Structure 1
């Protein structure tokens, strides 16, 4: 059974476990169930204390872009430039900066207003190769803009994300580290539920004592 570890962050930027849950699977419905149960345990005042929004993990977005777009670039150097500028777009601090950075990115990597590049009838092999490279980077731009900077831009671009409290947590690395520690406390994955729960309580108490 998958073990979900739900993490919080205190005022000193230290992580602590809010709750754990054994789930039937790892589908969207399973996670929705866990969140529903967590919310049912909170005092109603907690819902009004700090308004916030869903933030998507910046690291996983970069990995997604890498796995889907790197193949469109001939050299590692050009690919690294593309990814660097994409990250700069994500980390813009104002909407004006975001729009400017997005346009500069599109211009640098041959967006051409989303229209296909044309090859003249008298084009040389070098001209054809140049157009092919432009179309490849345009395809990568189309993926990034369509996948991440359209529907999800308010969950990934800092100028929108920073309008709501997130405690500086814009990646899941803190949670993954905490989950790794919890798994070490649990030990063998073949433990029964009672022994696993005892190990979870020990891990949580150890963390609480560390924070104190």
Structure 2
């Protein structure tokens, strides 16, 4: 496979349209047998690259769908500024969601960061993405989305528990356990859940242990709070980016590559202007 850089063409188009930025730096990965068939496409706005290098500590990653006529997954990586604004670090069209696709995308993201390494990476429990983050960023602390975990736990409880009171107790005690400030307190709180359900609903306890407790260091506060994560305990920021992306695309999945770029580029410029404004307001408030 080979990479092709087409950022200069995009830069020229931006200048013609009166944009101040240099456009979107883009890498294409081609399939060896047919050099005209694109396998992956990586977008990174120069302004976003600058933000990545200013705020490289925490990144949230997730793929979404129904954004293009090829029916390809669309990976978005977002970060957090000092004013707690979400910025789009990069966006990647991938032909599939295999580990190799994610690894390719993250290696391009690594090149974008240069010698910087994220401190925390937040994802949902997508093993292909999780494995790729471990390959490319082995020293980053990996966190899982608490919201998705809580949703899955609640759904399992609704399948197995007979009463609304039981389901509410599971929700309450699980959320309490996840927010435990120390490993000892977590063990104590989870033991309470076990005692409550293991006699009649042992399958639920097995589910919690075998599905989620094996990853407890990735979502329980006792472990995640050892690392600076700016309150990013869920993938909500990147889910919000998905929503905004689809809004920018007109809630249609009929765009080709150039059609997507023509809508994503101005939307990214608007996002960057809003972030610069937040910096200016912050300076005024601290002056």
Common topology (TM > 0.5):
yes
Q: Residue 89 of structure 1 corresponds to which residue in structure 2?
A: 177
Contiguous gaps of at least 5 residues in structure 2: 1-71, 121-138, 277-287
Q: 1:186 maps to which residue?
A: 249
Q: 1:49 to 1:58 in 2, by over 3 A?
A: closer
CA contact (8 A) 1:148 1:156 kept: no
- What SS class does the counterpart of residue 171 from structure 1 fall into? coil
What is the CA distance between 1:157 and its match in structure 2? 0.8
CA, structure 1 residues 156+48, in 2 after alignment: closer, same or farther (shift >3 Å)?
closer
Q: Which has the higher contact order (CA 8 A, sep 6+)?
A: 1
Please report the TM-score for the alignment, with normalisation by the length of structure 1.
0.81
- Cα displacement (A) at 1:70: 2.1
Whole-Å separation in 2 of the counterparts to 1:49 and 1:102: 28
The reply on whether 1:145 has 2:190 as its aligned counterpart is no
Q: State the shift of 1:174 in Å.
A: 1.6
1:158 maps to 221
Structure 2 CA distance, aligned partners of 1:87 and 1:61?
10
Offset, 1:48: 7.6
Match of 1:6 in 2: 77
1:204 maps to which of 268, 274, 285? 268
Deviations 1:133-187 (A, max 9, x none): x322x221121022111x2010121110111122211111121111111121122
Tell me which residue corresponds to 1:135: 200
The structure whose Rg is larger is: 1
**Scaled by the length of structure 2, what TM-score is found?**
0.61
The CA distance in 2 between the partners of 1:193 and 1:105, in whole Å, is 50
**Higher share in helix:** 1
CA RMSD of superposed structures (Å)? 1.8
| Contact persistence 1:155–1:161 (CA under 8 A) | yes
What residue in structure 2 maps to residue 74 of structure 1? Answer: 162
Equivalent residues in 2 for 1:90-109 (5 A)?
90-109=178-197
* Count of equivalent residues: 186
Write the deviation string for residues 104-151 of structure 1: whole angstroms up to 9, x where unpaired. 222233x3xxxxxxxxxxxxxxxxxxxxxx322x221121022111x2
Aligned match of 2:99: 28
Unaligned runs of 5+ in 1: 112-133
Alignment of 1:64 with 2:128, yes or no, is no
The 3-state SS of whatever aligns with 1:11 is coil
Measure the CA separation in 1 of the matches of 2:209 and 2:255.
45
Distance 1:9 1:16, change over 3 A: same
Mean Cα deviation higher: 77-86 or 48-57: 48-57
Task: Assess if the C-alpha contact under 8 Å between 2:74 and 2:91 holds in 1.
Answer: yes
Deviations along 1:30-68, one digit per CA (max 9) or x if unpaired, are 222211221122211x12878641111111111222333
Residue pair 2:154, 2:170 contacting (<8 A) in 1 also: no
Secondary structure of residue in 2 paired with 1:164 = coil
Distance 1:48-1:153 versus aligned 2 partners, 3 A rule: closer
| Matches of 2:98 and 2:118, distance apart in 1 | 28
